[in-house]
Each structure stands twice: as C-alpha cells, then as structure tokens.
Structure 1
C-alpha cells in the first residue's frame, strides 16, 4: 500500500499554493497529491542544488521581506520598507491604492555595503498626503520633503523610535534615548517628545514625559483620539540586579553588562501614565500589584477613561482595571483566575462608542472575542469554536471586529470579520492557505497584508475589504534563481501522543523525489513551541529556512511538532505543559518520531534532533531521558538551568519557592538531568549571550567531562543569543558544523 493513502482528510492538508503567484490576484488553493515528485530538467530531484553558501548570501535568494506598513491618513497610500534587489538595507516605498503603482521614495541604500548587513530605514510614517514623510535610520530622525529632499532633524537625540502622528496630523510624537533590547531588558533610557509637523527646525521637539534616570524609561505610548493627551507605559528597572557577562573576543576581555533578573529577583515595575499636552501635567495610575505584568492599556474614545490589562507574574490571574482619567479613581472591570494558565495571550480594546471593552480571552478554553459592557458584567461571547483568535482590531465606525485566527486549520492565520453585535463570521483573506499579518487602512477599506505560505516567501498584498477573497500582489521579492530551484514538499500530519493520546500536529518536509519504498533519515527540529506555521520557513524571522531545505536536498525528512504549550489548540492542550519543561514537550517530540517510524517514513536508527534556547533544553533532555531514540542531537544556546531563566518563564515552571524546591527546578533543568546522555551531542553557544548564559553551558560541560561523557562544543566568540542571525559568516560556519555533525552521526550511520 502506498503511503499517499495514509493522508486521509483530517490527517493531511496540502500547503496548496505554488511559488508563481499571479501579480494581480492571489491564486486559490489547489489540492495536490502528496508525496509527489516534481520534475526538474526532465528528472525527479531531491531538492535544491544550492550549497549553504549559495542559500545564505548578502543578496538574499528569497529576497528582502517588505516590512513596516503604514497608511496615510486618507487611506489612499501605504508606505512600506523594502529592498527590491534582495539586500538587507530597506528603503521607503509607497503603493497607491488609486493608481496601483508602487514607487521607491528613498535611495539611501545605494551607498551601503552589502556585507555590512545594515537594516536600513527602521520606520516611516506619512506626515501628509503630498509625500512628506518622517522616518528613522540609524536611530536618527529624518524628514523627506515632497520634492524628495531629506533633512536630518533632532540631531541632539539618539535612538529615536516609535514615531506616531497625532489624530489631527499636526504633531509628531516619538521616544528617544538609548535602545531597549526587549529580549535581555538592557534599558538605557527612553524619553517622550512631541514636535509640530509644520516645524522645519532641527531640535524643535518638546519633552513631555520621561525621567533623567536611564533605568526609568518610556517604552511605548498612544495618542488620545482628540490629540490632547498621550497615554504611555513607563518601566522602572532600578530594583533589578545588574550582571556582568565577561567573554573574550577580538583578542581582549570584554564585558556585556546587563540588567537581568532571575526567577525570584526584583523585576521591572511597569506603570501607565497620561500626560495632558496643554499643561504638561502627568497622572500615573497605580495598581494594587505594582510589580505585575501589563499586557494592554488604552484611552477611551472620549479620553475620559483608561483601561489597564495585566496579570500576576505567573500569568494565572488576568485583571482589567478601568480608571477615571480626571480623578484616578479605579474599578475592577474584569477578573479571572486559572491556576494552570500558561500563556498571556489576552488582548483588550475599547468597544465602539466606548460601550465597554472587547476582550480576547480563553475563558471557555479557547481564545475568543468577548464584549463586556460594564464593570463586573457577564462578558458576551462573540466568536466560538475549537479554534483560536490570535489578534484583533476594532473598526469603531463600522462596528466590526477584524481578526486573525486559525479557524481554517491549526497552522494557518487567516483574516476574518464579525459584527461587534455578533453574527456570521466572514473570511476576508480568501481561499489560499497560509499566514496573514494585516495592517488596516484608517477607514478599513483596505488591508496591507504580509502574506506567506509554505511554498512562497513573504510578500506585501493589498486586500479590498469590500471584495473578500481577492488580493493584489504589490511586491515580488525572491531573486530569479529562487524559481529555478526545486524546494521541499511540505505538508502536515496529525497523530496522538503515545503517552496520553492528546492530538498533535506536525509540519513535515519531504524530499521532492520522495520514494515511498524507502525509509529516510530524519531531523526533528528546530524544536520549539509555536513551531508549526504555514509560512515560508515555518516561523517568521526563523533563519534556518535554507538549512532545512539543504537537509531535505541531502535526503533527510525534516519534522516540526506543535508541542504542548504552543498556541492554537486550546487551553487544555497547552496546560499539560505546566511544571513540565523537559517532560511533556519531549514526549510530544518522541510521538512524532514514533509516528514516522510506524508509517514507514523514518529509519528508526537515523533520527537527529536539534533546537536552540528552549529547543536546546529539549534536545539535551531528550538525549538524557530517551537514549537510543535519537542517533544524535545539537543544542544551540541551551537553556540548561531554569534557575537562570527569565522570571516570565515562571508561567510554566512555577515560582522558585515552595516545599517541592529545589527538586521542581532541578527536574526541569537539563544541567541536573544530563547523566543519561549516551548519544552524540553537539553544543553551539555564543560567549556574549545574556539570555542563556554561556557559563551554564560551561557548567554542563564540566559535569559531562567529570562523568566522562563525550560531546562536541562549538564556541562562537562574542556571539549573542540569536547566534544564527548575528552575522552571515557566523551563520554559515555554524550551519556547516551542524550539517557535518548530522551527516556523520545520523545520515551516514551504519
């Protein structure tokens, strides 16, 4: 019996969209037999013929992703950041809805050196409808005039970011200071400024909020609808510990000093404030749990009320407070506690007419939209079903909610619309499977849509919301050579956990010349939560798309499992991960391997596993607890010691106290569980990493050496946590080490 017969409805869904999409409209999905054998040059081929060096170049084969979508106030033009030649420097482009023409507005990347890997323009917003644009590059603010002339302004400020135009278009607000690294919380200041749009002077902005202490900073803000006030969130890191990360690079001892909390340490104190621009008066709105997380905040349309959505440090109790802006009076609007809650996916916004709040919550076990009109009132459910809403936007005038969800299939993110009053849900993004990330025009007539699927790298599309299902392709990013290659055949399989029977789903990449009569070597990974997405490379900003394709072309199957703790399959599905790092998750990975072996895809003696960060934890735990299941594993920047995790990881691993400690943390830490490793292990780690400390890798290495366990260590001098994204030479080096290791220990294993 051929393996194609295994893929019954419900077991497999094809990615279904070929690489050559029409410029005018997104092609409808076409089911195709799978596995299949595309013909390339008259013969079936395994996949791409390109090397690692050819797949990863300064001029990217898959192109430069269009990013930073921003609409003009009249909704007639969308700005975006792009490089049509595939280099990393993004310039400003514009697309006119009326004419259907895209235009390059800046040419700053002409003089940049490709090997510099510069990101170019970071943000651009239109100041009027005549071509005047404010943008940032290199942390500096620039104004592009209607005639194309560019002037640098606010030259006395650094790291300018978060540009936002007032609703009436007369003032520009922004934050300046030193950059804030959201991953390792290196915080060196953030001050809020406002300048008149009509002003052409250099240092013309007025400081409206922010402290001189670099550890007290504004990290984001939003205008009120009338432009008279600005609500902002302020972080205070003064109580947090500072840590020195010493490492050798460039022939000398270096120190990466960071503000970094471990579980149980003091964390950032977050506070929401509102500043009245006419008077400069600022009011802060305190919460009873001042050290807890803030997930959302927002002013009502009339500016009189403010909601703040937050939770405790372990993300178990979700609370929404509503304040009277004039008096500071607080009421508890919404509250729900779930003892095993893991994911703070809540989102909140004001309903049309300030008639209460729209709340995205999983109170019924799945993330859905609710409307709650008053404090303490019962929320009315708007969407329902065994699928989840990822994000939403309120069309106040149209009294509609636009949202992205996986209603079509777990790995997808499609765009939908539903009336606030409830009723039928309408799909806006059409029939093609894939992932959409929409930015709506002010009148909600059009959507600037970041779209990708398993077969096609991301592009900008323009959707007319009055004509659902049709989209105009604005960009074409891949280089011509992209279309000359044969890529992996990607699909999805579903199977039960071999431990508790919970349904699981995985993304499966097969060689294009897949032979059902053969058993193949398998690479499981890179393993992580939320690893199964119908988009190019599987995850956005996932730099290993080319590595995966290279593995497949060398005769491997690549498997990605949507482990417990991931988004999209409901609260009961992910809650089984509670207190279970290195247990339930690695069982899910093994279930995927068992499925492939049982169905005849995988050679059980030739299965490799790899992941980075949390994926590194799972890799080492799998080798330690499941000897013989994997022929070899690679752990990148492995989170081996949860005592040194971020406090936010307490969502899963719990607080660092209680009668079951230290046993609970040791059970979830690969550092204390590595005694069982017998199979080949490679560790890749950068010495500068502030997220997962290189010293923890050394502690693991010392223990393994003491126990005479063999392993390979690849040290990347001065590399950060995202070691595959730091520099192109470093990524190529690391990927080649990985290929050599897996070929020796997995593919060519006798």
Structure 2
C-alpha cells in the first residue's frame, strides 16, 4: 500500500540537520585516463564527510574506495575535498590540506609528507606525477609514497600562484598573482568572549589592483619563462598552450571589461602580438572562453559579439570571427573533442531556466541536443569523449550523478541516489515558470514560482520574493544554490507563502541588448524588473498585494534596501542580509556595472547606486542581518546605514551574527537554522497578520 506524502508544515530541524534529508551533494567527478572508471566524492548516508567513490563502466557498479568517514560525527570536517587519477589505478586526494595516495585496493598512504595547505591537485598526462598548490607555491611530486615534493614556483605572503594547467609537452603554465601593492584591511570583531582582529587583502574601487602574469616552467624545475602583458592589472580570463607547445594565448580585459584582448606569444622567443581585440561600451558580463582549435591553427572563441554568447572560429591574427553557432540563446561553456573535430557545450537553447548539453561540428552546422530531462545538466567528459558524467537536477530532484554514453544508443545510467528515505515521504512544493515583461523597455523576463500546498490563484496568499540575485532563474533543486535557500523556500511554501525568484537584468542567457539597461544601474533597472514580476503575479492572482515581502543577501541585500527605499508601500516588508549598501566599498570588479571611478560624474553615479544615500524613503518593515567578520561587504557599512536610519527616525531591526563572514547561511547548520528562523518569523509577523 502506497503512503500519501506528508503535507504537514516543515521544521528547520527537518530541513537543516545531519544527516541531511536531501542527502549529500556528490561532487568532483573525475574520469580515469582510460575512461573506464569514474571517481567522485560523496556520502551515501547524508552526512557531511565525503569519501571517494568509484563507478566502473564495464560492471556498471559503484563502490566506496575510501572509508575515512566511518565513525565521523556531526560537526566534523566535510571530508575529502579533491581527487586526481594517477597511473596503475591509484588516486591522489586531499584531506584537511594534506595529500594522500590510495591504491585501487583502498590502501591509503600519505604523499608529499609534511606539505601543508594542499589544493588544486592535477595529474600529469601519463599519470606518473602530480602538480598542486601548497599555500600559493606551485609544486610537483612523483606518484610514489617515498617521493619528495619539488617546489617549482615559490610563494610568499602576498605573491604566489593562483591557478595552473599541464601543457601537452609536460610543462606547467600558471598565473602568478601579486598583491604586494593591494590594499590590506583589518576587521575587528568580538567572538567567543574575546576581542579579535583579522587582516585581509581587499581592494576598493580606485585602488591599485592585483597584478597578474603568466609563466611556464618544466615539471622537473628550472627557470620560469614569463609572458607579460602591457598592463599587469588587467584581468586574465583564460590561457592555454597550443598542441605543439610553440604558442600561448592569454584572454585578457581591462577592469571595465569593455575591452577584450587575446594576446598570442611565441613560447620560444617570447614575442607578443595582439591576436584579437574588441571594444564593447555596454558589456557587463565577462562570459568569454577561449581555446586553441584542435589542429592548433587559430582559436575557438565564445563571445557575444553577435549579440548572444556563441561559438566562433578565429582562424588567424586579425581575422574576422567565423560563427559556429547562432540563435537567440546563449552558451555557458564548451569543451573540444579534437579527435572527432567536435565541440560539446552547455546552453539554454531549450528554455531560459534550463541548461542542456549539445554538440556541433567544428565547422558549424546542425546542433544536436544530447540530454533529455528538463533541468540543469553539468557534464564531466571522459578523456576519449565516449561518455560524460552528468550532474543533473531539476526543481523536484536534488542533484545526482548520471553517466550518459555518447554512442547514441545506451540510455543514461544513474550513479548516485542521495536523499534519505524521509525525502520521499514528504510532499515538496510545486514549481512553475511565469513570463512577464518590463514596463521600462518591454524586455521579456521570467519568474520561478514555488507554490504552497493546494494553491489556488485567488489573490489571498502572502508572497515572499527572494532570494533576489542575478542568475537566479534555474530549473534545479532550490533554484540559485549559492545559499542553502532550498530549505527556507520549502519551509515558507509549507506555511502558505508563495515564494518567487524573479529574473533580473545582468543575468546569463538573454543576450547583450537585454542586459544593456543594467549598465550604471545598481538599484535601478534591477529593482524595476523585480517590481514588474510582482505586479504581474498579483494580476494573475498569485498574491495579496498588501502582503508581499522581499529578501536577498549581498547584492540581493542592496536590491532589497533599494526596493524599500525607492518604492515605499509597494512591499510590506524586506529582509536584507549582508547588504551592499555602499558601492564605494564594493570590489573594483563591480565597475563592470557601476562604472569606474574618475570622471566628473562618478560621485553622482556611485551615490545613485548606493542604498546608503536613499534611506529617507523607508516606510515599511525592515530587518538587516549581518556578520561582524564580513570582508566582502563590510559590517561597518551596515553600521553607517544604521546610524543614518536612527538619525532619520526610522524603525527597523538589526540581527548581528558575531564572528560570521559573508556566507552567513552556510557557516554551520546551527547558524543556518537561527538566521533563516529570524527571516521566517519576520515574514510571518509582517505578511500574515
């Protein structure tokens, strides 16, 4: 006899406890060199500690390779963080910053003994050596428990390697970041009964920036070859070495991202040339990706020069881009199958909220969709492109790994099943997608709407809009996954709230012209997009117009405050987490949208985009939540706003989280339950009474 799923209101203990009712997210899929085995990190019992699991292509079975999580209790570290396949079926992995080696029989041994702070491990092409970062130094070690590690590039306090990749010839290409002249800030805070002070490298608009350069070094050490650009403060979005090793590209842009340049270097002489350059005065997203063509002749460039982010062939220096794909949809990223002259890519061609896997010939032509189920697909390809691991999720399904074969005949196979049995015994909220239009410029947008049980569009429901942010329209469990807001969304829906995630300008997928209105428009175009969503849903009977609340964190907190300050009476209540109230204290990269410092109008522009200067309009219920150790959005900025609101005679509430950083909802489950409990109680009080 089947059991009817429960529709009883959820509790935060049900949603945010260990083991987790939705299970443990499987992560870090890596294929063995022969493509016969898939390794990944997971816990099949829903605990936080992840071990290494192996799925075998021939047997089509999975098994745990390590058992280090046995006996671990709640609150302990989250387990193995990285893995890399080596020769003879061995796997290197990182546990709490230490490097280990596990044989195919599951025997674990320490590797590079004494090396601390290990991250970013990557095996050589033949699997006999491992490169990794130790702190910010680049190191290698032979795949032997007795081998001594070798330092290739030394790191110091403010200078070190931030990323690297193996080249086909066995050398290593890397990016060195130099923060010697970057601003350092101290954040004082109180925690556990003590006064503390932490120091961070943290630049603000107008400051000197991190200087970056690309280097190349042989895996056995030796002198570094440096490839310098005209301005070391320009961003680096990608780099790579040609198949024959004779050329290296660097995809770069100025701080504003309005000028994109691909530099090409002769690796033997070091000679530099401009292979490609483009200027776009309205660009606000650096979604570029560049790779050498499989034959090494020219580049494959992902760019929105034709209005949407699409693939192009760039056959030579100064040549015109040759479109490979086109259409009113966008590509997020791509991978090259050199042997088949084929490109695989992720795109939203089917629906704005979906991401599917597609293939196209290197020469262009017909595009083939490879994934079937609606939702979000994130692939990890086998080295021979015979299959890919597909991390799949949709609105009703927490993420799981599947393996999809690229022979076109074999059905995808599910590798993991993460939720606990209790998950199937609950009735989870339904989700639907509602289109709406901007009243400003008529642009098409869409909202992800989570519905309470037995919902009827009768105009009586309270509605919570949030967490508001860019790139929030995603058909996956929980929608936007930066915060664990899947639980608060489900909790509110179970309590009778309609929960809405609106699409806003500045997001991926709709093209350059669609995003144009967001330029210099923090707290202007974005909050109009949110308001148009609310107006549309009220008109369709989804909510009582007098019982609409709004919440978001960081940039979402800025939008929450701006919405309340500029549109008094439109919302009944707003909850702002770690709100970016003052863009003078943003990261310099926010200049993509808000514009750079300098010029006669920049003070007016920055004031117009900072909630701190619009607080006089507050007339509705407001709660601000902020951690005192936040280096991304300064707690001092919240204090400045609090002082201003007090001087203006405004009523509001402040929730302070001692010693907590920017990701206040992810620090630990106790804090998650407390913070989201405050949010839920706030909306219960102001939207239901």
Superposition TM-score, scaled by structure 2 size: 0.98
- Separation in structure 2 between the aligned mates of residue 689 and residue 372 of structure 1, nearest angstrom: 43
Match of 1:217 in 2: 160
Check 1:519–1:375 CA distance in 2 against 1; reply closer, same or farther (3 A cut).
same
Q: Following superposition of structure 1 onto structure 2, how do residues 37-76 of structure 1 map, counting pairs within 5 Å?
A: 41=4, 47=7, 49-76=9-36
Q: Secondary structure at the match of 1:217?
A: strand
- Separation in structure 2 between the aligned mates of residue 594 and residue 318 of structure 1, nearest angstrom: 39
Match of 1:375 in 2: 317
Q: Secondary structure at the match of 1:517?
A: coil
Check if 1:195 corresponds to 2:155: no
- Separation in structure 1 between the aligned mates of residue 67 and residue 128 of structure 2, nearest angstrom: 27
Match of 1:119 in 2: 78
Whether the 8 Å contact between 2:282 and 2:516 is mirrored in structure 1 is: yes
- Separation in structure 2 between the aligned mates of residue 433 and residue 287 of structure 1, nearest angstrom: 43
Whether the 8 Å contact between 1:462 and 1:473 is mirrored in structure 2 is: yes
Could you give the per-residue CA deviations for residues 44-84 of structure 1, whole angstroms, max 9, x where no partner exists?
A: x8x45321111110210100011011110000001000000
- Separation in structure 2 between the aligned mates of residue 682 and residue 654 of structure 1, nearest angstrom: 29
Q: 2:331 aligns with which of 389, 395, 407?
A: 389
- Separation in structure 2 between the aligned mates of residue 361 and residue 551 of structure 1, nearest angstrom: 40
Shift of 1:331: 1.2
- Separation in structure 2 between the aligned mates of residue 747 and residue 587 of structure 1, nearest angstrom: 25
Q: 1:272 aligns with which of 214, 233, 241?
A: 214
- Separation in structure 2 between the aligned mates of residue 270 and residue 459 of structure 1, nearest angstrom: 37
Q: Secondary structure at the match of 1:353?
A: coil
Check if 1:650 corresponds to 2:591: yes
Match of 1:602 in 2: 543
Check if 1:138 corresponds to 2:96: yes
Shift of 1:662: 1.2
Q: Secondary structure at the match of 1:61?
A: coil
Q: Secondary structure at the match of 1:115?
A: coil
- Separation in structure 2 between the aligned mates of residue 517 and residue 319 of structure 1, nearest angstrom: 54
Whether the 8 Å contact between 2:453 and 2:496 is mirrored in structure 1 is: no
Check if 1:82 corresponds to 2:26: no
Match of 2:405 in 1: 464
- Separation in structure 1 between the aligned mates of residue 385 and residue 174 of structure 2, nearest angstrom: 25
Check 1:485–1:469 CA distance in 2 against 1; reply closer, same or farther (3 A cut).
farther
- Separation in structure 1 between the aligned mates of residue 595 and residue 320 of structure 2, nearest angstrom: 30
- Separation in structure 2 between the aligned mates of residue 747 and residue 526 of structure 1, nearest angstrom: 19
Check 1:553–1:277 CA distance in 2 against 1; reply closer, same or farther (3 A cut).
closer
Could you give the per-residue CA deviations for residues 104-134 of structure 1, whole angstroms, max 9, x where no partner exists?
A: 0111111322123x2210111121243x211
- Separation in structure 2 between the aligned mates of residue 225 and residue 216 of structure 1, nearest angstrom: 27
Check 1:468–1:721 CA distance in 2 against 1; reply closer, same or farther (3 A cut).
farther
- Separation in structure 2 between the aligned mates of residue 99 and residue 129 of structure 1, nearest angstrom: 19
Q: Secondary structure at the match of 2:120?
A: strand
Match of 1:361 in 2: 303
Whether the 8 Å contact between 2:65 and 2:104 is mirrored in structure 1 is: no
Match of 2:62 in 1: 102
Q: Following superposition of structure 1 onto structure 2, how do residues 312-711 of structure 1 map, counting pairs within 5 Å?
A: 312-430=254-372, 432-467=373-408, 470-711=411-652
Superposition TM-score, scaled by structure 1 size: 0.90
Check 1:336–1:554 CA distance in 2 against 1; reply closer, same or farther (3 A cut).
same
Check if 1:207 corresponds to 2:134: no
Match of 1:247 in 2: 189
- Separation in structure 2 between the aligned mates of residue 529 and residue 484 of structure 1, nearest angstrom: 33
Shift of 1:470: 3.1
- Separation in structure 2 between the aligned mates of residue 650 and residue 629 of structure 1, nearest angstrom: 29
- Separation in structure 2 between the aligned mates of residue 48 and residue 493 of structure 1, nearest angstrom: 27
Runs of 4+ off more than 3 Å: 39-42
Whether the 8 Å contact between 1:167 and 1:226 is mirrored in structure 2 is: no
Shift of 1:621: 0.3
Shift of 1:319: 0.6
- Structure 1 window deviating more from structure 2 (72-81 vs 512-521): it is 512-521
Q: Secondary structure at the match of 1:558?
A: strand
Shift of 1:40: 7.7
- Separation in structure 2 between the aligned mates of residue 374 and residue 437 of structure 1, nearest angstrom: 31
Check if 1:236 corresponds to 2:178: yes
Check if 1:295 corresponds to 2:210: no
Q: Secondary structure at the match of 2:69?
A: helix
Whether the 8 Å contact between 1:322 and 1:332 is mirrored in structure 2 is: yes
Shift of 1:150: 1.1
Shift of 1:147: 3.1
- Structure 1 window deviating more from structure 2 (660-669 vs 618-627): it is 660-669
- Separation in structure 2 between the aligned mates of residue 717 and residue 143 of structure 1, nearest angstrom: 39
- Separation in structure 1 between the aligned mates of residue 191 and residue 221 of structure 2, nearest angstrom: 51
- Separation in structure 2 between the aligned mates of residue 79 and residue 541 of structure 1, nearest angstrom: 24
- Separation in structure 2 between the aligned mates of residue 279 and residue 512 of structure 1, nearest angstrom: 63
Match of 1:157 in 2: 115
Whether the 8 Å contact between 1:320 and 1:333 is mirrored in structure 2 is: yes
- Separation in structure 1 between the aligned mates of residue 333 and residue 271 of structure 2, nearest angstrom: 29
Q: Secondary structure at the match of 1:354?
A: coil
Q: Secondary structure at the match of 2:600?
A: coil
- Separation in structure 2 between the aligned mates of residue 41 and residue 465 of structure 1, nearest angstrom: 39
- Separation in structure 1 between the aligned mates of residue 422 and residue 9 of structure 2, nearest angstrom: 11
Shift of 1:538: 0.2
Whether the 8 Å contact between 1:307 and 1:321 is mirrored in structure 2 is: yes
- Separation in structure 1 between the aligned mates of residue 382 and residue 620 of structure 2, nearest angstrom: 54
Q: Following superposition of structure 1 onto structure 2, how do residues 695-734 of structure 1 map, counting pairs within 5 Å?
A: 695-734=636-675
Shift of 1:168: 1.8
Whether the 8 Å contact between 1:49 and 1:553 is mirrored in structure 2 is: yes
Shift of 1:541: 4.0
Number of corresponding residues: 688
Match of 1:22 in 2: none
Check 1:156–1:352 CA distance in 2 against 1; reply closer, same or farther (3 A cut).
same
Whether the 8 Å contact between 1:48 and 1:487 is mirrored in structure 2 is: no
- Structure 1 window deviating more from structure 2 (64-73 vs 498-507): it is 498-507
Whether the 8 Å contact between 1:556 and 1:747 is mirrored in structure 2 is: no
Q: Secondary structure at the match of 1:529?
A: coil
Whether the 8 Å contact between 2:110 and 2:145 is mirrored in structure 1 is: no
Q: Secondary structure at the match of 1:114?
A: coil
